[in-house]
């Protein structure tokens, strides 16, 4: 009798865990996304090179001229202005000490991007430049306990008429976008985080197993191309059948592999993808 009881408890625990996992990772009702958006090839931080810095107006202009979508990053300046910049800190791109949030938008505009003559643009400047001509993939850079960036982004996008998608590594940010802009498709950026020693923390285990999907309700996933074989991604991809974007694809060969691997589209850098392989 003891063994029967032990087996029954074991089965009950396993079933309870499976039910809990299914609930936590369920992304909600599947919503259709425009084929125009799903088929877009997104230039990572614009179509940048030595002459056109990442996340610069010239890199975005070049992407528009070549008919590519644009992936970009938004965060707040000291005076609460949305600016387009990837890193928390300014050192890598601008050679300046400190965080983006330590400077006003005017001060950031006066800094030089990667040795060019361009400064850090505001999100408004980028929206005015693109003006709906190509799709945008807007990544919200926001700490877990914050909400200012997602709320400011939603407010600015409320009157933007061009095609766009919003993504973030932060599921809570996507939850706020769902509340503020329910018609805009949201994507969860994700990766096999704990392969890096510095990320072997409970938070990253939760994120890489998609345990906050119930909050984010993603309409698509944007996943690290190099981690595409990681079990949690393969599992949710099979179960949820959401569109998937591969980031960051850097060669024509990987471009072809991404298509063979079932990715809907790519976020690319360092090469120009050929039409027949995307």
Tell me whether residue 142 is in a domain: yes
Q: What tokens appear for 226 in the block? A: 């190099």
Rounded Cα–Cα distance for residues 2 and 218 (Å):
45
Q: Which is more confidently placed, 275 or 194?
A: 194
Tell me whether residue 126 is in a domain: no
Residue 121: CB partners within 8 Å, gap ≥ 6? Answer: 55, 56, 57, 83, 84, 109
132-150 tens-digit pLDDT:
999 999 999 999 889 999 9
Please report, for the domain that includes residue 39, its CATH number: 3.20.20
Q: Tell me the sheet residues that pair with 249.
A: 268
Tell me whether residue 214 is in a domain: yes
Which residues does the annotation mark as catalytic? 44, 86
pLDDT, residue 8, reads 82
Tell me whether residue 258 is in a domain: yes
Tell me whether residue 82 is in a domain: no
Q: What tokens appear for 258 in the block? A: 């991404």
- Interval 247-259 mean pLDDT: 97
Check pLDDT > 50 for residue 255.
Answer: yes
Tell me whether residue 60 is in a domain: no
For the chain, the domain total comes to: 1
Tell me whether residue 89 is in a domain: no
pLDDT, residue 275, reads 67
Check pLDDT > 50 for residue 278.
Answer: no
Question: With contact defined as beta carbons under 8 Å apart, do 85 and 107 qualify?
Answer: no
Which residue, among 88, 87, 59, has the nearest Cα to 71 in the 3D structure? 59
Residue 168 Cα distances to 117, 140, 188, 189, 233, angstroms: 29, 5, 6, 5, 16
The range of the structural domain enclosing residue 231 comes to: 2-48+69-74+134-277
pLDDT, residue 245, reads 98
52-110 tens-digit pLDDT:
999 999 999 999 999 999 999 999 999 999 999 999 999 999 999 999 999 999 999 99
């Amino acid at each position: 009798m003891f063994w029967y009881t032990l087996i029954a408890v074991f089965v009950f625990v396993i079933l309870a865990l499976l039910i809990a996992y299914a609930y936590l990772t369920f992304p909600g009702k599947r919503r259709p996304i425009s084929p125009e958006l799903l088929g877009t090839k997104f230039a990572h931080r614009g179509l940048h090179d030595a002459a056109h810095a990442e996340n610069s107006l010239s890199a975005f202009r070049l992407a528009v001229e070549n008919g590519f979508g644009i992936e970009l990053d938004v965060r707040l300046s000291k005076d609460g202005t949305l600016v387009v910049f990837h890193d928390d800190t300014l050192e890598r791109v601008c050679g300046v000490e400190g965080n983006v949030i330590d400077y006003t938008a005017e001060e950031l505009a006066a800094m030089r991007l990667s040795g060019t003559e361009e400064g850090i643009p505001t999100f408004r400047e980028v929206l005015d430049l693109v003006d709906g001509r190509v799709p945008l993939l807007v990544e919200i850079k926001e700490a877990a306990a914050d909400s200012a960036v997602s709320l400011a982004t939603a407010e600015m996008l409320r009157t933007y008429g061009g095609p766009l998608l919003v993504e973030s590594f932060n599921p809570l940010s996507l939850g706020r976008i769902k509340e503020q802009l329910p018609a805009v498709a949201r994507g969860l950026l994700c990766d096999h985080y704990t392969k890096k020693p510095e990320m072997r923390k409970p938070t990253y285990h939760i994120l890489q197993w998609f345990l906050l999907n119930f909050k984010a309700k993603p309409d698509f996933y944007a996943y690290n191309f190099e981690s595409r074989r990681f079990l949690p991604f393969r599992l949710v991809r099979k179960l949820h059948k959401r569109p998937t974007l591969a980031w960051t694809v850097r060669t024509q060969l990987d471009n072809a592999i991404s298509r063979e691997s079932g990715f809907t589209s790519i976020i690319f850098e360092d090469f120009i993808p050929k039409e027949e392989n995307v």
